[in-house]
């Protein structure tokens, strides 16, 4: 009889162990599925990062070639415009001096004409 009890207990332990093992196997499978899903997401993220890196490299090259050249050209044009404006300012200053000079001469001549008109009685 003792043997039957021992056998019964062994079967019970085996059954419980098998059930726990099956439960553990199911949980392990679920964890594996989750890990596979995460790995897939990581792979997708890595691919997207590679695409972004390529785009950044393209933008860097574009900045180095096209945009830098355009900025230099704009700076050169700006420099030329400033030089032209300085030239025009100098010419305007000279014209202003000439106009002032002519104004003074005109006033002098107007006064002389008035004096001579008075002397002549006109």
pLDDT digits (tens, 9 = 90+) for 55-110: 999 998 888 888 888 888 899 999 999 999 999 999 999 999 999 999 999 999 99
Instruction: At 15, list the tokens.
Output: 């059954």
d(CA 56, CA 2): 79
Q: How far is 38 from 19, CA to CA, in rounded Å? A: 29
**Is residue 1 predicted with pLDDT exceeding 80?**
no
This prediction's pTM: 0.46
């Amino acid at each position: 009889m003792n043997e039957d009890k021992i056998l019964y207990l062994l079967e019970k332990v085996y059954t419980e162990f098998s059930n726990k093992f099956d439960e553990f196997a199911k949980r392990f499978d679920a964890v594996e599925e989750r890990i596979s899903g995460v790995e897939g997401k990581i792979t997708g993220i890595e691919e997207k990062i590679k695409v972004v890196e390529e785009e950044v490299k393209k933008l860097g090259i574009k900045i180095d070639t096209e945009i830098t050249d355009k900025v230099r050209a704009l700076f050169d044009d700006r420099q030329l415009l400033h030089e032209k404006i300085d030239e025009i300012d100098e010419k305007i200053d000279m014209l202003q001096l000439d106009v002032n000079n002519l104004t003074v001469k005109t006033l002098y001549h107007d006064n002389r004409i008035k004096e001579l008109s008075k002397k002549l009685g006109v």
